[in-house]
Amino acid sequence: MATEIRIPEGMELVYEYPESLAKKDTHYCPGCTHGIVHRLIAEALDDLGVRERTIGIAPVGCSVLAYYYFNVDFVEAAHGRAPAMATGIKRVNPDKIVFTYQGDGDLAAIGTGEIIHAANRGELITTIFINNAIYGMTGGQMAPTTLPGMVTTSTPTGRNCALAGYPIRMSEILAQTEGAVYVTREATTDLASIRKTKKAIKRAFKVQVEGLGFSCVEVVSTCPTNWNLDPWEAMEWAKENMTEYFLLGTYKMTDEVKALKV
Amino acid sequence: MAKELLEGNVAFAEAAVRFGLRAYFGYPITPQSEALEHLSKRMIEEGRVFLQAESELAAINMVYGAACTGVRVMTSTSGPGFSLMEEGFSYIAGSEVPAVIVNMMRGGPGLGNIQPSQGDYFLMTKSAGHGDFHPIVLAPASIQELIDMVGLAFELAEKYRTLVFIAGDGSLGQMMESAELPPMQDLPKERPAWAITGAKGRESKFITSLYLGAENLEAVNLRLQAKLAEIRENEIRWQEYETEDAELLLIAYGIVGRICISALREARNAGLKVGLLRPQTLWPLAEERMAELARQVRGILVAEMSAGQLLEDVQRAVAAKTSVHFYGRLGGVVPMADEIVDKLRELDEETH
């Protein structure tokens, strides 16, 4: 459990625990970037003052227990179905801020249909998509976003695209849908990219607060445990390899979204 | 409300609107698409939620999401769509949220056809998804009963926080007869205390079907089983016709139960002392009453539009106390009353 912070006399608190984040230790591996992204979401919800009207949808994957780590209401979806559940929630509760938190297996393999149609309908929800190119929870198997040649427990000699197909670029696909108004691919590979990701997540939620359309932030992340790298090496590997195939940048931003002050 | 001529699919859809349906998510499939079409107009007129989903899989997960927020929600489908929804059924059962699903059964397996069938009995009563659970299954035999059961389905779903299925078939969905719709109900202003509504002025909370640790999940399962036992105790429903002096007993549900009323009259006219037990709930099933009647009659004839699914439960319930015969038609063929009477005559001769 996080301990309470005592501020020594004469000092000022400049950085604190976000209210939208539960004061709990996570089960994530050392060096995992889920914790970073959780915090960025919590900060965005705090900044926008929407914590008390937010409903999150947890995925199946390493972040299946995300509902323990946020101090907001949550539901737990079946694998890949978070956008459908989010649709059901948002349609009957249009005043709520509804977001899905999904990994690459969840969003880009088993749940491809649900995310594309939710985006295309312009559901007023926000999706945070963690792309670390691997199935973490089940033990390091190939993900839809596993890079060509990348060794996983189900591609032991490296991903052979002739057999296993190619890594799928979801942000590019989602950006093609009429209903999506903001689609961006960010990263958590260094401080600068994390700060940029924070801004993108806040913008994505702001899009929803303003009712502009579907918003999605893909976050290129790491999995030191299943990549068999230490956390620092994993960051470097992601920068050198992941962002070569998954180019960072904003794939869709309508004028209305551009005009938002974030 | 006056009686009016109504088609089954339109009747249950309109009944749902009047019983306070807040949201409908569905995918077109014959023989129940008229319900979705009706709701596409009526729900919007009422300022409520209608959404045609991209698949039955998405539809049931939309239902699941809306149900977590404590509103009356439903979907409707037929066999192939029902199979796709099983994933969602299991999560809804594990999460203990209320939801109502209408299944207008059609011939299977596979794509089968679009004729009426009762081939989803096992699916609805025993295997609606992975894990240990039973939904409540209601089986209407007329459009009036279908209408009334929509209201009952919502009440039971909310009372027990469970899935409720309405087991219809293609003929019930497609036929027209005169029936009375309920008056328009107001939507409830409040959400139930368990609902996910945003953590305003209270601790944040969540709804999940995930329980790590064998003992934790066993405890949840035992609680679910206790709830099922309570449902078994309180919610078994059936109707009997001329069972007081019956020597032969017909058991049939839904539209076949209704055909059996004609068969019963024909058989009585021919001098056979026939009674009928028509289950109105398929789960829980009137097993004790079947066992009682089994001691009274010489034989039982189960009639179904399947290869003998209810039959297995009847055999189990009566535990060889009497001879159990079966008459089933398959592939969308509807049994005729005189075919059932012929079978009753055979049963009469064999058990004399």
Which residues between 78 and 107 in chain B have a beta carbon less than 8 angstroms from any beta carbon of chain A? 87-88, 91, 95
The answer on B312 and B245 residing in a single domain is yes
Tell me what the mean pLDDT of segment B308-331 comes to: 96
Nearest-by-CA chain B residue for A53: B198
The pLDDT assigned to B183 comes to 97
**Token digits of residue B304:** 């179904």
The answer on B302 and B244 residing in a single domain is yes
Element of type H or E holding A34: helix A34-48
Chain A positions with Cβ closer than 8 Å to B: 22, 51-55, 57-58, 64-65, 67-68, 70-78, 81, 84-89, 91-93, 96, 113-114, 117
pLDDT, one tens digit per residue, over B37-63 is 999 999 999 999 999 999 999 999 999
The pLDDT assigned to A15 comes to 86
Tell me what the mean pLDDT of segment A34-58 comes to: 98
d(CA B168, CA B69): 28
Which residues between 41 and 60 in chain B have a beta carbon less than 8 angstroms from any beta carbon of chain A? 49, 51, 53-55, 57-59
Contact flag B210-A65 (C-beta cutoff 8 Å):
yes
Contact flag A92-B196 (C-beta cutoff 8 Å):
no
- Which chain A residues touch B51 with a CB distance below 8 Å? 87, 91
Is the per-residue pLDDT at B112 higher than 70? yes
Contact flag B66-A91 (C-beta cutoff 8 Å):
yes
More confident residue, A156 or A14: A156
- Which chain A residues touch B22 with a CB distance below 8 Å? 92
Nearest-by-CA chain B residue for A87: B62
d(CA B147, CA B317): 29
Question: Above pLDDT 70, what percent of chain B?
Answer: 100
The pLDDT assigned to B240 comes to 98
The answer on B206 and B59 residing in a single domain is yes
Cα–chain-centroid distance for residue A206? Answer: 16
Is the per-residue pLDDT at A220 higher than 90? yes
First to last CA, chain A: 32
d(CA B99, CA B94): 12
The pLDDT assigned to B242 comes to 98
Which residues between 193 and 222 in chain B have a beta carbon less than 8 angstroms from any beta carbon of chain A? 196-201, 204-210
The pLDDT assigned to B181 comes to 98
Nearest-by-CA chain B residue for A98: B198
- B24, B60, B206: best to mutate for the A interface, most A CBs within 10 A: B206
The answer on B339 and B199 residing in a single domain is no
Q: Is residue B320 very low, low, confident or very high in pLDDT (cuts 50, 70, 90)?
A: confident
Q: Is residue A227 very low, low, confident or very high in pLDDT (cuts 50, 70, 90)?
A: very high
Is the per-residue pLDDT at B310 higher than 60? yes
Question: Where a domain ends, among B234, B259, B292?
Answer: B234
Closest Cα partner for A123 from A94, A159, A155? A94
Tell me what the mean pLDDT of segment B163-184 comes to: 97
Question: Where a domain ends, among B200, B234, B268?
Answer: B234
Tell me what the mean pLDDT of segment B306-312 comes to: 98
The answer on B337 and B204 residing in a single domain is no
Tell me what the mean pLDDT of segment B60-87 comes to: 98
Closest Cα partner for B352 from B248, B245, B277, B276? B248
Query: What domains, with CATH codes, occur in chain A?
Result: 34-258 (3.40.50.970)
Encode chain B in three state secondary structure. Answer: CCEEEEEHHHHHHHHHHHCCCCEEEECCCCCCHHHHHHHHHHHHHCCCEEEECCCHHHHHHHHHHHHHCCCCEEEEECHHHHHHHHHHHHHHHHHCCCEEEEEEEECCCCCCCCCECCCCHHHHHCCCCCCCCCCEEECCCCHHHHHHHHHHHHHHHHHHCCEEEEEEEHHHHHCEEEEECCCCCCCCCCCCCCCCCCCCCCCCCEECCCCCCHHHHHHHHHHHHHHHHHHHHHCCCEEEECCCCCCEEEECCHHHHHHHHHHHHHHHHCCCCEEEEEECEEECCCHHHHHHHHHHCCEEEEEECCCCCHHHHHHHHHCCCCEEEEEECCCCCCCCHHHHHHHHHHHHHHHC
Instruction: Please enumerate in sequence order all residues whose Cβ is within 8 A of that of B234, keeping only pairs 6 or more positions apart, or say none.
Output: none
Residue B334 belongs to domain spanning: 239-351
Buried b (16+ CB within 10 A) or exposed e, B143-159: bbbbbbbbbbbbebbbe
The answer on B247 and B137 residing in a single domain is no
Nearest-by-CA chain B residue for A85: B65
Nearest-by-CA chain B residue for A120: B54
CATH number for the domain that contains residue B277: 3.40.50.920
The answer on B176 and B224 residing in a single domain is yes
Q: Where are the alpha helices (DSSP H) in A107-249?
A: 112-120, 161-164, 170-175, 191-209, 224-227, 231-237, 243-245
The pLDDT assigned to B321 comes to 86
Is the per-residue pLDDT at A229 higher than 80? yes
pLDDT, one tens digit per residue, over B144-155 is 999 999 999 999
d(CA A251, CA A14): 34
The answer on B245 and B200 residing in a single domain is no
Cα–chain-centroid distance for residue B332? Answer: 18
The answer on B277 and B216 residing in a single domain is no
pLDDT, one tens digit per residue, over B250-277 is 999 999 999 999 999 999 999 999 999 9
The answer on B273 and B207 residing in a single domain is no
Q: Which residue type sits at A67? A: Y
Torsion of the alpha carbons at A245, A250, A252 and A258, rounded to the nearest 10: 180
Is the per-residue pLDDT at A3 higher than 80? no
Contact flag B65-A117 (C-beta cutoff 8 Å):
no
The pLDDT assigned to A6 comes to 81
Note whether B275 and B293 are within 8 A (CB). Answer: yes
More confident residue, A234 or A16: A234
Question: Where a domain ends, among B219, B234, B249?
Answer: B234
Distance from CA of B206 to the nearest CA of A (A): 4
Torsion of the alpha carbons at A236, A238, A241 and A247, rounded to the nearest 10: -120
Is the per-residue pLDDT at A2 higher than 60? no
pLDDT, one tens digit per residue, over A82-106 is 999 999 999 999 999 999 999 999 9
How many domains are there within chain B?
2
pLDDT, one tens digit per residue, over A186-202 is 999 999 999 999 999 99
CB nearest to B206's CB, from A76, A78, A87? A76
For tokens 């979907």, what's the residue?
A: B75
- Which chain B residues touch A113 with a CB distance below 8 Å? 54-55, 57-58
The answer on B244 and B209 residing in a single domain is no
The answer on B213 and B158 residing in a single domain is yes
CB nearest to B58's CB, from A55, A65, A117? A117
